[in-house]
Structure 1
Amino acid sequence: MTATDTPTGGQAHPADALSTVSRGSAYAQLSRQIKQAGLLDRRLGYYTGQAALVLTLVIAGVAALVVIGDSWWQLAVAAYFAVLSTQLGFLGHDAGHRQIFRSARGNYGFGVVLANLGVGFSYGWWVDKHSRHHAHPNDEDKDPDIGAGALIFTTGQAQASGRIARVFYRWQAWTFFPLLMLEAVNLRVSSVRYLLAGRGRSGIREIMLIGLHVVVYLTAVFMVLPPGKALAFVGIHQALFGLYLGCSFAPNHKGMPPLSDADNADYLRRQVLTSRNVRGHWLTDFALGGLNYQIEHHLFPSMPRGNLRRAQRLVKQFCADQQVSYLETGLISSYAQALRHLDTIGRVAAPAG
């Protein structure tokens, strides 16, 4: 294992990467600055406020569902719940990185409640997948987020794709956002497959909580609405949830340089060069769940979300001193860069003639 690798077996977490970095490295110097500034300290009050806000919004949404009753205005409520599902996912993401509680057990328990019961997908599956991404961002062979599937992200994947697949990949930049509307379905299918394969830490418990989520959710919707409107509600909710969630993660790495072990990049450069920050303000921070500080998040996965903005100044200056390229762009520009990359790879995959 190199200094840039992170153990990824079982329920390993991205935060474990910090223990593998050499004390004399550039990252170690930056880490000392961050720790001295208190930016790795837990912020239970901040997360209590976040959780209370989201819970209040959920209660308001349930009340709206009941009060509005049999009406097509419920499709607006479905869109509202798509936002809430994503915000619950952001909190689950933070728990998965051990940002909230000091104990691993506290973060795990909170994460399972948020992901499995609150949103309906496996927390264990997500932590396993996301940990591998953090350990090897934009590594074609090891990062599950850029594995070939409905989309391809590298020239190697384009060249290895079959003739029929190349026809679809040629237009992948155009199908990117529509495909994101299926992401909620993909999360659940991948979760169930993972748990049924016996790979989860608490597979039976996670499956039961997902099942409880589905039963309660569908019962509530179909009790309030007739079948046609209920199906429309579910469709709008799940499609916009997938779109919002996908749009929150898409700006972070898509179109950034691919790296592999052969590049021999140290931990600092591996994380910074493959990540893209999104410029904004407090509303951007809330809407993207802090993921707009992707560089800082990848360098310090266990840093509480509320500290990322403060950490950015230190990280940006340190990268300038170390002559490490630090990319920050606007939200629209980040999507444009990602789409241009998908289009470029799609053209490589285009069938000859």
Structure 2
Amino acid sequence: MAPQSEPTLGQPKTGASIPQLFTWEEIGIHSGQGSSKQDQWLVINRKVYDISNFYRQHPGGSRVISHFAGQDATDAFTAFHKDETLVKKYLNSLLIGELASDQPCCEPSKNELLLKDFRDLCVTVKKMGLMNSNYLFFGLMFLHIILLDIAAWMIIYYFGTSWVPFIFSTLTFATAQVQYGWFQHDLGHISVFQGTKQNRWFHMLVMGTLQGGPASWWNHMHNQHHAKPNCYRKDPDLNMHPLLFSLGKKLSRELGKMKKKSMPYNYQHKYFSVVAPGAVVPFFQLITFYFIYTRKKWLEFFFMLTFYIRIFLMYIPLMGFKVFMAHYWIARFLQGSWFIWVTQMNHIPMHIDYDRNLDWVSAQLAATCNVEQSWFNDWYTGHLNFQIEHHLFPMMPRHNYWKVAPLVKSLCAKHGVDYQTKSLLTAFADILHSLKESGDAWLEAYLHAKTDL
């Protein structure tokens, strides 16, 4: 019998019985960048997968998986997949080899010891039952939102459309819509029900019938944000840069040096409060319908139509079309303002850059911060005051964030990772301070940039 050859480094051999071994340097070549966008490999638990022909069929979206091409995706895989055993069955057809034994568990740019301790923490978290949902909590949360929604209509029904009931109804409707937003966020992260299907169906119902948006669009955008937070060209939440805002000192200096000026960025801290929510509202309305049409998500389109039919039938007979339009768009603006300030207080003041391929913990902590806990802060932010814990464990039910927070703090302290916690007002103020600093950095670079003669 001929002796078996030793596994070697290099390109995979089809049909080989011995696993092909690779180095991080070889894997990094297949990053889907430049002229070979479809040449994409990634690593999960030291196994190497070729996703070049799969990423477009990825159920979570082609972009989110492509963001890890040429990188280790182990912790992102764990964070986004509830049933890892089931998903791994589909990965077998993509398997082309594994890391060589002399290769570390992650790329040199990552903190191997920190990752090891974090993965141990993930095991502890599951043993503590912190990934299990409390149905009573979510049931009461949903009930109080429904009551707010009904109250907005009853105020008009009983008191008419004079300015006092109009204002109170508008505020109540906006509050209900914001709280629906936090609830659909829970469903989108598969954290309300144990089963994925139940979360997906209720997500479509809440996002569609109760909010008027497509759940699949939210998943497509939000999963990318969690995968690479504050990474320019990978995090969709940075799409406002540079159209409306210049975010982060580094990116702002680049814009200035290139003499780019879509807006007077040095005044962005002054126009943020009006422009950001004012742009978000029509943008969401238009982009969601465009997404539905291009992706042919007709079931979600049906759910969206039920939302508009519902509010038309509830409000127009009571207040007429013109007053209803004022009621609806003012409420949407208030909702957009609430949403923008809460979601950006944890991110805009933090580090914004291109993808530096940091380890999971360092990447999330560099891009997120917390806001102090109180019953009001928890309710007002949908528990996104625990943004650090949410980003590290996106499928964890929000009522368990406060339980895991001390463990995360301890992990960060051990490895010297900055764990920031602020008051709510400080977090809001930091948005404006950060925008001013970025705007000033842009202006300085813009004024001193050399122009081609």
1:93 alignment partner in structure 2: 185
2:447 alignment partner in structure 1: 352
1:230 alignment partner in structure 2: 324
Alpha carbons of 1:100 and 1:108: their partners in 2 closer, same or farther (altered >3 Å)? same
Answer yes or no: is the 8 Å Cα contact 1:3–1:267 preserved in 2: no
Aligned pair 1:304/2:397, yes or no?
yes
1:245 alignment partner in structure 2: 339
Letter in structure 1 aligned against 2:270: W
Letter in structure 2 aligned against 1:328: T
Aligned pairs for 1:265-304 within 5 A: 265-304=358-397
| Residue number among 165, 174, 178 corresponding to 1:82 in the alignment | 174
Answer yes or no: is the 8 Å Cα contact 1:15–1:301 preserved in 2: no
| Residue number among 192, 209, 215 corresponding to 2:309 in the alignment | 215
Please state whether the residue corresponding to 1:280 is helix, strand or coil: coil
Q: 1:2 Cα deviation (Å)?
A: 5.4
Coordinate RMSD, CA, aligned: 2.7
2:286 alignment partner in structure 1: 189
1:176 alignment partner in structure 2: 272
Cα deviation code 1:174-205 (max 9, x no counterpart): 1111123322322221211211221x6xx111
Answer yes or no: is the 8 Å Cα contact 2:44–2:77 preserved in 1: no
1:28 alignment partner in structure 2: 119
Q: 1:266 Cα deviation (Å)?
A: 1.1
Cα deviation code 1:270-320 (max 9, x no counterpart): 112211101131111011001000000000001001111111111112211
Distance 2:161 2:232 in 1: 49
Q: 1:25 Cα deviation (Å)?
A: 1.8
Answer yes or no: is the 8 Å Cα contact 1:140–1:259 preserved in 2: yes
Distance 2:402 2:191 in 1: 15
Distance 2:149 2:221 in 1: 28
2:144 alignment partner in structure 1: 53
1:118 alignment partner in structure 2: 210
Alpha carbons of 1:111 and 1:339: their partners in 2 closer, same or farther (altered >3 Å)? same
Distance 1:15 1:66 in 2: 49
Q: Which moved more, 1:264-273 or 1:23-32?
A: 23-32
2:251 alignment partner in structure 1: 156
Answer yes or no: is the 8 Å Cα contact 2:266–2:439 preserved in 1: yes
Alpha carbons of 1:179 and 1:70: their partners in 2 closer, same or farther (altered >3 Å)? same
Please state whether the residue corresponding to 2:161 is helix, strand or coil: coil
Distance 1:324 1:181 in 2: 33
Q: 1:15 Cα deviation (Å)?
A: 7.1
Q: 1:211 Cα deviation (Å)?
A: 2.2
Please state whether the residue corresponding to 1:341 is helix, strand or coil: helix
* Identity within the alignment, %: 23
Alpha carbons of 1:229 and 1:151: their partners in 2 closer, same or farther (altered >3 Å)? same
| Residue number among 225, 237, 240 corresponding to 1:145 in the alignment | 237
Please state whether the residue corresponding to 1:197 is helix, strand or coil: helix
Letter in structure 2 aligned against 1:34: V
Letter in structure 1 aligned against 2:324: A
1:133 alignment partner in structure 2: 225
Alpha carbons of 1:79 and 1:253: their partners in 2 closer, same or farther (altered >3 Å)? same
Distance 2:76 2:159 in 1: 45
Aligned pair 1:324/2:383, yes or no?
no
Distance 1:126 1:232 in 2: 26
1:63 alignment partner in structure 2: 154
Distance 2:434 2:244 in 1: 15
Answer yes or no: is the 8 Å Cα contact 1:125–1:191 preserved in 2: yes
Q: 1:141 Cα deviation (Å)?
A: 2.2
Letter in structure 2 aligned against 1:150: L
Q: 1:102 Cα deviation (Å)?
A: 1.4
Cα deviation code 1:306-344 (max 9, x no counterpart): 111111111112211222110111111112222122112
Give the unaligned 5+ runs of structure 1.
none
Q: 1:219 Cα deviation (Å)?
A: 3.6
Distance 1:277 1:166 in 2: 32
| Residue number among 29, 39, 44 corresponding to 2:135 in the alignment | 44
Distance 1:310 1:129 in 2: 28
Output the TM-score relative to the length of structure 2.
0.71
Q: 1:167 Cα deviation (Å)?
A: 4.2
Structure with greater proportional helix content: 1
Q: Which moved more, 1:214-223 or 1:309-318?
A: 214-223
Alpha carbons of 1:163 and 1:265: their partners in 2 closer, same or farther (altered >3 Å)? closer
Alpha carbons of 1:352 and 1:15: their partners in 2 closer, same or farther (altered >3 Å)? closer
Letter in structure 1 aligned against 2:198: G
Distance 1:215 1:227 in 2: 13
Aligned residues: 348
Distance 1:177 1:275 in 2: 21
Alpha carbons of 1:2 and 1:279: their partners in 2 closer, same or farther (altered >3 Å)? farther
| Structure number, greater radius of gyration | 2
Q: Higher RCO, 1 or 2 (CA under 8 Å, sep at least 6)?
A: 1
Output the TM-score relative to the length of structure 1.
0.90
